[in-house]
Amino acid sequence: MPNRRTETRHATPGNTCNHFQKYGMTCDDFDRLLARAAGRCELCETPEGETPRGALVIDHFQGDGLFFVRGLICDRCNSVMSRHDRSAAWGPASLPWADKARAYHLAAFEQPTPEEFEQADRYIASRRTYNVKDRHYIPVAPRAALVVRLDRSMTEAARKLRRHLTDRQRARLIELLSRPL
Protein backbone atom coordinates (compact mmCIF):
# COMPACT_ATOMS: atom_id res chain seq x y z
CA MET A 1 0.00 0.00 0.00
CA PRO A 2 1.35 3.43 -0.89
CA ASN A 3 1.97 5.48 2.24
CA ARG A 4 3.81 8.54 3.52
CA ARG A 5 7.08 6.63 3.62
CA THR A 6 6.85 5.05 0.18
CA GLU A 7 5.66 8.10 -1.80
CA THR A 8 8.78 10.26 -1.58
CA ARG A 9 10.35 10.17 -5.05
CA HIS A 10 9.57 13.80 -5.94
CA ALA A 11 10.14 15.27 -2.49
CA THR A 12 13.25 16.55 -0.74
CA PRO A 13 14.93 13.86 1.41
CA GLY A 14 12.90 12.90 4.48
CA ASN A 15 9.65 14.33 3.10
CA THR A 16 6.52 12.89 1.54
CA CYS A 17 5.50 14.05 -1.94
CA ASN A 18 2.96 16.83 -2.10
CA HIS A 19 0.94 14.99 -4.78
CA PHE A 20 0.43 12.16 -2.27
CA GLN A 21 -0.20 14.30 0.81
CA LYS A 22 -2.69 16.61 -0.86
CA TYR A 23 -4.16 14.54 -3.69
CA GLY A 24 -3.59 10.93 -2.68
CA MET A 25 -1.69 10.42 -5.93
CA THR A 26 1.14 7.87 -5.99
CA CYS A 27 4.60 8.65 -7.40
CA ASP A 28 3.92 6.33 -10.35
CA ASP A 29 0.70 8.20 -11.15
CA PHE A 30 2.46 11.53 -10.75
CA ASP A 31 5.17 10.40 -13.19
CA ARG A 32 2.42 9.52 -15.67
CA LEU A 33 0.91 12.97 -15.18
CA LEU A 34 4.32 14.61 -15.68
CA ALA A 35 4.77 12.59 -18.85
CA ARG A 36 1.33 13.62 -20.12
CA ALA A 37 2.00 17.32 -19.48
CA ALA A 38 5.48 17.03 -21.00
CA GLY A 39 6.68 20.24 -19.40
CA ARG A 40 3.80 22.43 -20.57
CA CYS A 41 0.62 23.77 -19.03
CA GLU A 42 -2.02 21.27 -20.12
CA LEU A 43 -4.52 24.02 -20.84
CA CYS A 44 -2.67 26.88 -22.55
CA GLU A 45 0.39 24.79 -23.51
CA THR A 46 2.83 27.39 -22.24
CA PRO A 47 6.20 25.79 -21.35
CA GLU A 48 6.55 25.55 -17.56
CA GLY A 49 9.49 27.98 -17.42
CA GLU A 50 7.51 30.68 -19.27
CA THR A 51 4.40 30.50 -17.07
CA PRO A 52 3.72 33.43 -14.69
CA ARG A 53 5.24 31.63 -11.70
CA GLY A 54 7.59 29.38 -13.59
CA ALA A 55 5.91 26.30 -12.13
CA LEU A 56 2.90 24.14 -12.90
CA VAL A 57 0.40 23.18 -10.22
CA ILE A 58 -1.78 20.12 -9.77
CA ASP A 59 -5.35 21.04 -10.60
CA HIS A 60 -8.29 19.05 -9.26
CA PHE A 61 -12.05 19.15 -9.19
CA GLN A 62 -13.78 18.90 -5.86
CA GLY A 63 -17.43 19.07 -4.89
CA ASP A 64 -20.52 17.02 -4.07
CA GLY A 65 -18.36 14.16 -2.79
CA LEU A 66 -16.29 14.06 -5.99
CA PHE A 67 -12.55 14.58 -6.02
CA PHE A 68 -10.40 14.04 -9.07
CA VAL A 69 -7.09 15.36 -10.36
CA ARG A 70 -7.55 17.01 -13.73
CA GLY A 71 -4.00 17.81 -14.68
CA LEU A 72 -0.96 20.07 -14.45
CA ILE A 73 -1.59 23.69 -15.30
CA CYS A 74 -0.15 27.17 -14.82
CA ASP A 75 -1.42 29.73 -12.32
CA ARG A 76 -3.25 31.69 -14.98
CA CYS A 77 -5.14 28.60 -16.15
CA ASN A 78 -5.83 27.66 -12.56
CA SER A 79 -7.89 30.82 -12.29
CA VAL A 80 -9.55 30.02 -15.64
CA MET A 81 -10.60 26.67 -14.13
CA SER A 82 -12.13 28.41 -11.13
CA ARG A 83 -14.35 30.20 -13.70
CA HIS A 84 -15.18 26.89 -15.34
CA ASP A 85 -16.09 25.50 -11.90
CA ARG A 86 -18.07 28.66 -11.16
CA SER A 87 -16.23 29.57 -8.00
CA ALA A 88 -15.58 32.90 -9.74
CA ALA A 89 -17.30 34.74 -12.59
CA TRP A 90 -15.89 34.74 -16.14
CA GLY A 91 -14.18 37.97 -17.13
CA PRO A 92 -12.76 39.39 -20.38
CA ALA A 93 -9.36 37.72 -19.79
CA SER A 94 -10.70 34.27 -18.93
CA LEU A 95 -13.71 33.99 -21.25
CA PRO A 96 -11.70 33.29 -24.46
CA TRP A 97 -10.42 30.16 -22.71
CA ALA A 98 -13.87 28.72 -21.93
CA ASP A 99 -13.87 26.05 -24.67
CA LYS A 100 -10.34 24.91 -23.92
CA ALA A 101 -11.15 24.82 -20.20
CA ARG A 102 -14.11 22.56 -20.96
CA ALA A 103 -12.06 20.20 -23.13
CA TYR A 104 -9.35 20.07 -20.47
CA HIS A 105 -11.91 19.29 -17.74
CA LEU A 106 -13.31 16.42 -19.81
CA ALA A 107 -9.79 15.06 -20.35
CA ALA A 108 -9.21 14.86 -16.58
CA PHE A 109 -6.17 12.76 -15.73
CA GLU A 110 -8.01 10.65 -13.17
CA GLN A 111 -10.73 9.76 -15.65
CA PRO A 112 -14.09 9.95 -13.84
CA THR A 113 -17.02 7.94 -15.19
CA PRO A 114 -19.57 9.69 -17.48
CA GLU A 115 -21.97 9.66 -14.51
CA GLU A 116 -19.39 11.40 -12.34
CA PHE A 117 -18.82 14.05 -15.02
CA GLU A 118 -22.57 14.64 -15.08
CA GLN A 119 -22.65 14.86 -11.31
CA ALA A 120 -19.81 17.39 -11.43
CA ASP A 121 -21.73 19.44 -14.00
CA ARG A 122 -24.88 19.44 -11.90
CA TYR A 123 -22.85 20.59 -8.94
CA ILE A 124 -21.18 23.36 -10.97
CA ALA A 125 -24.57 24.49 -12.34
CA SER A 126 -26.01 24.67 -8.83
CA ARG A 127 -23.28 27.03 -7.73
CA ARG A 128 -23.96 30.70 -7.52
CA THR A 129 -20.88 32.59 -8.61
CA TYR A 130 -19.72 35.43 -6.50
CA ASN A 131 -20.58 38.77 -8.00
CA VAL A 132 -19.70 42.16 -6.55
CA LYS A 133 -23.12 43.48 -7.63
CA ASP A 134 -24.84 40.94 -5.36
CA ARG A 135 -22.83 41.95 -2.36
CA HIS A 136 -24.92 42.73 0.63
CA TYR A 137 -24.54 46.38 1.49
CA ILE A 138 -22.93 46.91 4.86
CA PRO A 139 -22.87 50.51 6.02
CA VAL A 140 -19.38 51.63 6.86
CA ALA A 141 -18.77 54.02 9.73
CA PRO A 142 -17.24 57.31 8.66
CA ARG A 143 -13.49 57.33 8.94
CA ALA A 144 -13.15 60.96 9.94
CA ALA A 145 -13.17 61.72 13.65
CA LEU A 146 -16.54 62.88 14.89
CA VAL A 147 -16.54 65.79 17.31
CA VAL A 148 -19.68 66.19 19.37
CA ARG A 149 -19.83 69.28 21.58
CA LEU A 150 -21.44 68.37 24.88
CA ASP A 151 -21.34 71.89 26.22
CA ARG A 152 -24.10 72.80 23.75
CA SER A 153 -27.64 71.54 23.33
CA MET A 154 -28.16 67.79 23.80
CA THR A 155 -30.63 67.81 20.91
CA GLU A 156 -27.88 69.05 18.64
CA ALA A 157 -25.46 66.41 19.96
CA ALA A 158 -28.05 63.66 19.40
CA ARG A 159 -28.79 64.91 15.88
CA LYS A 160 -25.11 64.82 15.01
CA LEU A 161 -24.65 61.33 16.43
CA ARG A 162 -27.70 60.05 14.61
CA ARG A 163 -26.39 61.41 11.32
CA HIS A 164 -22.94 59.85 11.70
CA LEU A 165 -23.54 56.51 13.37
CA THR A 166 -24.81 53.34 11.73
CA ASP A 167 -27.96 51.75 13.16
CA ARG A 168 -25.85 49.19 14.97
CA GLN A 169 -23.52 51.77 16.44
CA ARG A 170 -26.49 53.85 17.60
CA ALA A 171 -28.13 50.84 19.24
CA ARG A 172 -24.88 49.96 20.96
CA LEU A 173 -24.44 53.52 22.22
CA ILE A 174 -27.99 53.62 23.61
CA GLU A 175 -27.36 50.29 25.32
CA LEU A 176 -24.13 51.57 26.87
CA LEU A 177 -25.75 54.82 28.03
CA SER A 178 -28.63 52.93 29.61
CA ARG A 179 -26.36 50.74 31.71
CA PRO A 180 -26.17 51.52 35.40
CA LEU A 181 -22.84 53.08 36.31
Q: Name the site residues for Zn ion (rule: CB under 5 A).
A: 9-10, 17, 27, 30, 41, 43-44, 74, 77
Closest to Zn ion by CB, 109 vs 162, is 109
Least CB distance to Zn ion at residue 144 (A):
46
Least CB distance to Zn ion at residue 133 (A):
29
Closest to Zn ion by CB, 94 vs 120, is 94
Cα separation of the two ends of the chain: 68
Least CB distance to Zn ion at residue 9 (A):
4
Whether 17 contacts 27, CB under 8 Å: yes
Closest to Zn ion by CB, 80 vs 120, is 80
Least CB distance to Zn ion at residue 37 (A):
10
User: Which string of DSSP letters, residue by residue, matches 59-90?
Assistant: EEEEETTEEEEEEEE-HHHHHHHHHHTTSS--
Closest to Zn ion by CB, 30 vs 109, is 30
Least CB distance to Zn ion at residue 127 (A):
23
Closest to Zn ion by CB, 87 vs 119, is 87
Largest interatomic CA distance in the chain: 80
For the beta carbon of residue 28, count every other beta carbon within 10 angstroms.
Answer: 11
Rounded to whole angstroms, the Cα distance separating 106 from 102 reads 6
Whether 82 contacts 97, CB under 8 Å: no
Single-letter amino acid code for the residue at 88? A
